Amino acid sequence: MTNDQIKQAVVQIISVIAPDEDLSHLKSDVALRDQLELDSMDFLDIVMELRKRYKVEVPESDYPQLASLDSCVTYLAPKLKDK
Amino acid sequence: MPPTHYDVIIIGAGMSGLAAAIRLAYFNKKVLVLERHYAAGGLNSFYALGGHQFDVGLHAVTNYVPPGTRGAPLTKIYRQLRLTPEDFGLVPQHQSEVRFPETTLRFTNDFEFFVQEVIENFPAQKDNFMRLVRHIREYNELDLDAKPLSGRQVVSSFLTDPLLIDMLFCPLMIYGNAEEHDMEFGQFVVMFKSVFCEGLARPREGVRRIITVLRRKVREVGGTVRMKCGVKALRVESGRVKSVELDNGETLTADVILSSAGYVETMRLCSDCAPEKFSRLAGRMSFVEIISVLDKPMKALGHDTTIIFYNTGKEFHYEAPADLVDPRSGVICCSGNFLYDKPLSQNMIRFTCLANFDRWAALSEPDYIHAKAEWLPRIHQEVLKFVPDFRDHIVFTDCFTPRTIKHWTGHANGAVYGTPRKLKTGRTHLDNLFICGNDQGFLGIIGAMLSGISMANLHVLKK
């Protein structure tokens, strides 16, 4: 996947987890938590959806790496490069 | 042939079990829900009798917030179960009351209204009450490791008027307290937020709507529910549940067992447990409920209050009564008095009072029927202090007792709210057996679902 595709994939996952949030103005470099109402249950779901959809494992110690869309891309790019 | 193996077996197709099943099956776990009865819902089920549709446990769904409200438990549930507010179709209440001799506190789904009611009725308690509210708002009732505190003690450290204290405890205890006399402070906070800060609502179709949605979702995401399929025993070997033995003699295995059967009831299933060891942990709080179908809406008789929590005595007593029933306090609920866009086709009024399980359980069948008939007018007499006389409009009446509750839920003592000793983390003495639902400690329909979700997340998905 390209970086753009990864970003889109994460946004798509968030839209499933939090359909009540407006995602059209998300800034890539700002923490998701500062732009959206996402709690720890929702973050667990981002991780679970990544596993379900792309077979990517994110250990709990790496959750902070998913803070913003940009950091998601940086963290996920090597894991998703062949998908 | 080896026994069929599952990732997770869930005991009980109530709100918590079904919610847990949705989470787990959605994330590709092989899940089986086992339900002893032919109806799902557990404590919140439904039935038909005499051509009428009845709900068992549901007066109102607590924790109601308007769609889109951020951070509320109800919003979390929609998200976690991939459901929408339209799925539950919750219709907010009109107005409810806590009524004690000479004092009434009204409340709506607007918390500020309730605050004003308290201030007007208890002006001297204004500052104390506001400090208590702040403390409640800041209290993290979801902290699974919090140590239990006496609710009466904490609330009395803020409020000095015993009447106001009783009037706050009355509805919150009746709607969700497993303990006699006192209520753990965390539970008090859960209930205070869910009833007063958030609010009450009901689907037009009653609880069947919610159960139907949950079952449909379980199916959609690939989970299996087996009805009329009770668990006889959990075979334990070296600190784990090795296999699950069913009433029909079948044996199944699973990596993890989530039980919503209640803590005491689950321990009694474990082959390594002496059942009598757990009896003292069983709760004692049970209820009788009288449900009458009327030929007219209560609104037409001049009564538009949704729910009344009443107490006619000087003090409020929350304890298993000495007699079969304690009619001095209870709940009056009119399922027609929610803000529907058009009136319900069936008019109903229901009364709920504390009852003594042992007394009801000891009756012979004829005495049991006689006792029901005898208590009906006595309860009517009490509630007529609060509602217009509806008795000429009764078309059909059904009544359930602690005995009925025991039969349908399997709860020891017919204890509606389970054991007073909640297991917040859901952990048991066995590595792969966890408790969800009532005895994990989240309350009400929304609480039950949240419990199933949290335990599935914590003990299965996060692993």
CB contact under 8 A, A45 and B67: no
Residue B394's φ and ψ, nearest 5 degrees, are -70, 125
- Which pLDDT does position A35 carry in this prediction? 94
B128-155: per-residue pLDDT in tens? 999 999 999 999 988 878 888 999 999 9
B377-427: per-residue pLDDT in tens? 999 999 999 999 999 999 999 999 999 999 888 889 999 999 998 999 999
CB contact under 8 A, B461 and A41: no
Q: Are B439 and B283 in contact (CB under 8 A)?
A: no
- Which pLDDT does position B78 carry in this prediction? 96
- Which pLDDT does position B441 carry in this prediction? 87
Of the pLDDT bands very low, low, confident and very high (cuts 50, 70, 90), residue B280 is confident
User: Rounded CA gap, B54 and A9, in Å?
Assistant: 46
Q: Can you tell me the mean pLDDT for B296-301?
A: 96
- Which pLDDT does position B444 carry in this prediction? 87
Q: Does B109 touch chain A (CB under 8 A)?
A: no
- Which pLDDT does position B277 carry in this prediction? 86
Q: Are B203 and B91 in contact (CB under 8 A)?
A: yes
Of the pLDDT bands very low, low, confident and very high (cuts 50, 70, 90), residue B319 is very high
B225-273: per-residue pLDDT in tens? 999 999 999 999 999 999 999 999 999 999 999 999 999 999 999 999 9
| Exposed/middle/buried for residue B68 (C-beta within 10 Å: 0-12, 13-18, 19+) | exposed
Report ipTM (2 d.p.). 0.92
> Which residue in the set B28, B71, B461 is minimally distant from A37, CB to CB?
B71
User: In chain A, which residue's Cα lies nearest the Cα of B460?
Assistant: A48
- Decide if pLDDT at B352 tops 80: yes
Q: Does B457 touch chain A (CB under 8 A)?
A: yes
User: Rounded CA gap, B427 and B455, in Å?
Assistant: 9
Q: Are B421 and B283 in contact (CB under 8 A)?
A: no
Q: Are B420 and B181 in contact (CB under 8 A)?
A: no
B217-228 core/surface letters (b: 16 or more CB in 10 A; e: else): bbeebebebeee
Q: Are B324 and B360 in contact (CB under 8 A)?
A: yes
Residues of chain B with C-beta less than 8 angstroms from the C-beta of A51: 27
- Which pLDDT does position A7 carry in this prediction? 95
| Exposed/middle/buried for residue B375 (C-beta within 10 Å: 0-12, 13-18, 19+) | buried
CB contact under 8 A, B84 and A52: no
Strand duo B433-435 + B325-333: pairing: unpaired
Mutant choice from B79, B144, B453, B463 vs A, greatest count of A C-beta within 10 A: B79
Q: What is the average pLDDT score of chain B?
A: 95
- Which pLDDT does position A3 carry in this prediction? 93
CB contact under 8 A, A52 and B462: no
Of the pLDDT bands very low, low, confident and very high (cuts 50, 70, 90), residue B275 is confident
Q: Can you tell me the mean pLDDT for B71-97?
A: 96
Q: Are B450 and B436 in contact (CB under 8 A)?
A: no
Q: Are B5 and B432 in contact (CB under 8 A)?
A: no
pTM for this entry: 0.95
CB contact under 8 A, B71 and A39: yes
Range name among A61-65, B30-34, B151-155 with the lowest pLDDT average: A61-65
Read out DSSP for chain A? Answer: --HHHHHHHHHHHHHHH-TTS--TT--TTS-HHHHS---HHHHHHHHHHHHHHH-----GGGGGGGSSHHHHHHHHHHHHTT-
Residues of chain A with C-beta less than 8 angstroms from the C-beta of B70: 37
Residues of chain A with C-beta less than 8 angstroms from the C-beta of B79: 17-20, 41-42, 45
- Which pLDDT does position B66 carry in this prediction? 95
CB contact under 8 A, B80 and A19: no
Q: Are B223 and B24 in contact (CB under 8 A)?
A: yes
Higher-confidence residue of B180 and B275: namely B180
CB contact under 8 A, B457 and A51: no
Other C-beta atoms within 10 Å of B39: how many?
Answer: 16
Please state the three-class secondary structure of chain B as a single string.
CCCEEEEEEEECCEHHHHHHHHHHHHCCCCEEEECCCCCCECCCCEEEECCEEEECCCCCECCCCCCCCCCCHHHHHHHHCCCCHHHHCEEEECCEEEEECCEEEEECCCHHHHHHHHHHHCHHHHHHHHHHHHHHHHCCCCCCCCCCCEHHHHHHCCCCCHHHHHHHHHHHHHCCCCCCCCCEHHHHHHHHHHHHHHCCEEECCCHHHHHHHHHHHHHHCCCEEECCCCEEEEEEECCEEEEEEECCCCEEEEEEEEECCCHHHHHHHECCCCHHHHHCCCCCCEEEEEEEEECCCHHHHCCCCCEEEEECCCCCCCCCCCCCEEEEEEEEECCCCECCCCCCCCEEEEEEEEECHHHHHCCCHHHHHHHHHHHHHHHHHHHCCCCCCCHHHEEEEEEECHHHHHHHHCCHHHCCCCCCCCCCCCECCCCCEEECCHHHCCCHHHHHHHHHHHHHHHHHHCC
User: Rounded CA gap, B375 and B289, in Å?
Assistant: 11
CB contact under 8 A, B80 and A41: yes
Q: Which amino acid is at B193?
A: K
Q: Are B190 and B137 in contact (CB under 8 A)?
A: no
User: In chain A, which residue's Cα lies nearest the Cα of B85?
Assistant: A20
Residue B373's φ and ψ, nearest 5 degrees, are -65, -35
User: In chain B, which residue's Cα lies nearest the Cα of A51?
Assistant: B27
End-to-end CA distance of chain B: 30
Residue B319: which residues within 8 A CB-CB, separation 6 or more?
B180, B181, B284, B354
Strand duo B307-311 + B240-246: pairing: unpaired
Residue B14's φ and ψ, nearest 5 degrees, are -85, -170
Torsion, Cα A39 A42 A48 A50, to 10 degrees, reads -100
